[in-house]
Structures are given as structure tokens and as C-alpha cells.
Structure 1
């Protein structure tokens, strides 16, 4: 069992409710139904999924939490070497850029700022002035095939003060 499998097994509210009922002593589906108030079909599906995931065991004594499997999982997780945290900037760029194109703009302001700084650094030279058409053409390339459009991207660059605009001429003001 992996952390992903365990999290998936217990992600559903009904499965957590069934798990709790079994921890508290329910040994079969009718007892789970009585203890939880769930429909019999939902309880049976939850029991099957938890059993398939290895969280529950169904033996002569009825349903029970497979404590040994959970202990094995805990020991395996404790023995796993710590994975160094990925560079947050790189993680953001990997999430929102594919093959050099913007897939979508992040809703979270901090993430969006990281992405906008990256686009600014790669697209506009400090000190150079750009006519609006050239800015639009450069930003369109970033938006090809994604959900974002160049006009919104341009607006964010100006709002975040990475580009400045005056009389249809733009220049880089941010990092």
C-alpha cells in the first residue's frame, strides 16, 4: 500500500464513515449500515473498496481493520528517505507552462507573479521600448494552445508593474 493508495481509500466521506464503524466494532455490512445510517449499497461498496485497498480484512471473525498492513505501511513510510522540497518557482513554471506555452493563468496572486516575472524576463529586454503590436505578437506566442489570451496577459503585466505603457509604447519596468 502506498500513501497515495491509503489517501485514496480514505478520501471519500462514506468510506471514512464505514472505516470508523468497523474500528468501533461493526463486523459485517448490516452492522455497518445500522451504525452509520448509510444505504446498504453504499456501505457494501465502501467495504469492498476499503478491503481492495488493504485497509480492511474480511476473515472468519468478520470485518476488521488490517492493523498489521497499516503498521507495515507506517514503517515503510518512516524508512523512506526524505525527498528534498522542489524549487517552488520551478514547480509553478512546470504547472502552468507546457513546451514554452502558457496553459492557463494561476488564480493565486503569488503564483501568477512568478509566472509573469518569468514571461517578462524571457520576452522583453530592459530599456527597450516596444510598440503595442510587437507586445501583442510576443504575448500571443505564450498563449498559443492554452486557456489564457494575450490581452489578459498584457493587462496582468501592466497591473503587476512588470511592463509600463504610455501612448501605445511599452517597456519593461520589473525584474
Structure 2
């Protein structure tokens, strides 16, 4: 089964990437793939075999596999509204520098991590934000500070309250 991970893994190796590019550009035989990619025939053959195993190339002569179902899956899982470079699923990858885009990303996190008008203890806030930060560039403390600074979380009396987002 072709997954986003298997595609990245297959194309991360430069020889396979060059061979795949040759196939996409119309090379179908091993000799054509080697010539178009600048690879030795043996290296092109090895790359072509790995690309077939990964489900990226099919048939004889070689042609790109139909990756439309994979593309549809990726598109469905990506957040809308320009969030894709910064958010993957329920993980915050990074924050943009531009204030308006940063606010939009932080509103997205707040709306998915907290219920408006609900009080949370700091421990629970930290747990919820740690889950968002796992594997990203930010830590939960910085993220919490940004949410408070923007008024998306209010702090007082040892509790935090999630604020409703503007419409």
C-alpha cells in the first residue's frame, strides 16, 4: 500500500528520485530511464525496482502509478485555510512570523484543544499543549504564553479559561 511515508522514503534517495523523474517525463524502458536520468543502467534498474516496490511505478514499459487516491487522502487530511505548512493533523509543526497568520494558527490550536468558557488547571493546559507540540519546533510553555498574550486563554486565580473565538 502506498502511503505518504512510503513515497517520501522511496524518493528520499537521489538515484530513485532521478529515475522517478525520468519515468514521469516519459522514459519507459530501462535504457531510456538510464539515459534520461544520467544513471548507469544497473543503478537505474535498482532504482526502478525499488520504485515498483513502493508503488510509484508500474507496468512495462514503466509509467507512473496512479497516485490520485494517495493525493486525495493527503488533501483530506490537510487543514484548510493555509494551515497546512504549520499544522499536520493535531500537531503544530511551526508558527509563521506574520502576525495575522500566526493568530490564525493559534486560534486553530485553541479551538481544537479547548472548549470556550471552560476552566482548566495549568497541568491540564500543559498536557493538552504538549500533545500539540510533540515533534514540532515549539514547546508547550511558549505555546501557552502565545495563547495568553493573544487573549485566547485567560489566566487568573490559578486557573485558565478558554475564550470564545471571534466570528
TM-score scaled to structure 1, two decimals? 0.47
TM-score scaled to structure 2, two decimals? 0.49
Please say which structure displays the higher CA radius of gyration: 1
